[in-house]
Structure 1
Amino acid sequence: MAAATSGKVYFHVTPPVKAIPCLTPFGMKLETYLRITGIPYEPIYGRSMGPKGKIPWIEYNGEAMGDSGLIIELLNREKGVDLNQPLSDADKAVSRAFTKMVEENTYWGLTQYRWIDNFDKLQELFEIPWIAMLFMRRIRSNTKQKLMAHGIGRHSKDDLEGIIEKDLKAISTFLGAKPYLMGDEPTEVDAVVFGQLSEIVWTAPDSYLHRIVALDCPNLLAYCNRIKDRYWPDWDQLTGNTNTNQ
């Protein structure tokens, strides 16, 4: 636990790699939210799990808290922040629907691609020694079980890819020519969606996922670059990679 300072957000997250500042979409989501809102925070890089056995998590006023969605709700209350304030009730409902779609469905397509179909590329992606892959194999086994329990892991490769393609194209259709999903300025759902799409754009360059985002739905690629350029000016510094646009 960090030495707590009252009112300060200590953000526990995995360290940056060459591909992306964070290899969990929920870490990218939460940090993007912190950057959009301007809430001061201190990143604490590591792989320690939070109170719910996951990462990212935060410490705030001496308390540890997990789950990116609940963390955002807490910080909204504590910091008097509400990115969704300009939205109508109907728009808030749409935002929640997209949030749940990408986090409870689309996310598992990326999980299947990364942890099952391309497990042999994880050592390079995570920038870890080969011996650590023994531990990663245990995670892969647990991930297979989670995919089966969710149900999405029971589909054929073609069926799974078709499901995720519909998700991504739905986002693209709704985004259209708008700068952000709900209009001219970002709201909470943009942090959520960018968290998922950024992993596709910058960590899965040879995947069907990347093809959909970059080629079939170029407005999604432009959207990702728009958020990256506006809220991640230190991206190159964090990743040490000057060729980040895909």
Structure 2
Amino acid sequence: MSLGFQASPAGLLEYLQTSVVQLLTDPTQLSPGQGVLVGASALLVGAVLWSCCGGQRRNKVKLRAEFTPGKVYLHAPPPVKAIPCLTPFGMKLETYLRMADIPFEHMYGRSMGPKGKIPWIEYNGEAMGDSGLILEFLNREKGVDLNQSLSAADKAVSRAFTKMVEENTYWGLVEDRWIENFDKLQDLFELPWFVMFLIRSAKGKIKKTLWAHGIGRHTKDDLRGIIEKDLRAISNFLGTKPYLMGEEPTEVDAAVFGQLSEIVWATSGSYLHRIVTVDCPNLLAYCNRIKDRYWSDWDQLTNKTKKDQ
């Protein structure tokens, strides 16, 4: 079937314009070729509009039918042998809940929250996403302020470190886990081989995400150098203090521990692991300090000891 236009972009555009005019004035006179072209164009435009608009809608999530008022239901991936949660933002959020002594219940799974990400929470029948915004909400709702002892300048430093580890350092962890060591994910995630086969396409998508972010455009050596500078900056600022901002933990410790805990316990053999555990031993001691203080059930969660019956 001939479509009836010259094989060039200009010819295609002119033919499409003519076809649209024909559709609007006398659709009965559309040729088969014009019908095909108009239909294909409509599908393409629809796909673009859905991607730009519909794709930005909040995800619909399934909520509990019954809930305890005032209780946080934490949706996060289930524990594995290496670590209680394989997302640094899950580790951050749960560490914060433990620091703030806020009652919560695990809702283990891999369902995405209202913003298409995990972790997320249910609270009083509502779904909330984004760990940072969840912390802000719970601070207001529960009257919690882990930063009450900090000056305005200290709070500014805390925010800077939080954003550094979550908007920059994090992507070094993503690259190391999903690109450099993808072949180790089956053991780390503790998933059957056929499941890993199904999610192999995620590697390509993550490469595109890293490229779009910008960090994926660097050479391997340059990328590693950037992340190493982040980690050494944390180490130098921490120094001999027990926590980043002093003698007691604050919100920034939940965020930094969330990222560093993944490196310490879930990246064995990587350059990240070497930096944190060998080159910067104060970071390893820092992680163990928070783990020992707030994660007394760590071994139970990771099945290193038997759970209470």
Match of 2:201 among 138, 162, 165: 138
Q: Percent identity?
A: 78
Match of 1:108 among 152, 164, 171: 171
Contact 1:19 1:241 in 2 (8 A): no
- Look up the equivalent residue of 2:160 and give its one-letter code: A
Structure 2 distance, partners of 1:15, 1:238, is: 9
Find the residue that maps to 1:227 and give its secondary structure.
helix
1:209, distance to aligned residue in structure 2 (A): 0.4
**1:241 corresponds to:** 304
- Look up the equivalent residue of 2:169 and give its one-letter code: T
Find the residue that maps to 1:10 and give its secondary structure.
strand
**2:158 corresponds to:** 95
Computing the radius of gyration from Cα coordinates, the structure with the larger value is 2
**2:260 counterpart of 1:212:** no
Match of 2:190 among 127, 139, 143: 127
Find the residue that maps to 1:6 and give its secondary structure.
coil
Normalising by structure 1, we get a TM-score of 0.97
Aligned structure 1 segments of 4 or more residues deviating by more than 2 angstroms? none
**2:291 corresponds to:** 228
Structure 1 distance, partners of 2:203, 2:116, is: 16
**1:185 corresponds to:** 248
**1:164 corresponds to:** 227
Structure 1 distance, partners of 2:67, 2:204, is: 36
Which protein, 1 or 2, shows the higher relative CO under an 8 Å CA cutoff with sep ≥ 6? 1
Structure 2 regions of 5+ residues with no counterpart?
1-62
**2:74 counterpart of 1:11:** yes
Match of 2:134 among 71, 79, 82: 71
Structure 2 distance, partners of 1:96, 1:241, is: 35
Structure 2 distance, partners of 1:163, 1:64, is: 36
Find the residue that maps to 1:97 and give its secondary structure.
helix
Structure 1 distance, partners of 2:302, 2:97, is: 19
- Look up the equivalent residue of 2:212 and give its one-letter code: A
* Cα root mean square deviation, aligned: 0.8
Structure 1 regions of 5+ residues with no counterpart?
none
1:137, distance to aligned residue in structure 2 (A): 1.3
**2:144 counterpart of 1:81:** yes
Q: Deviations over 1:82-119 (max 9, x none)?
A: 10111000000000000000000000000000000110
How many correspondences in the alignment? 242
**2:255 counterpart of 1:197:** no
**1:25-44 map, 5 Å:** 25-44=88-107
Normalising by structure 2, we get a TM-score of 0.77
**1:22 corresponds to:** 85
1:135, distance to aligned residue in structure 2 (A): 3.1
1:6, distance to aligned residue in structure 2 (A): 1.3
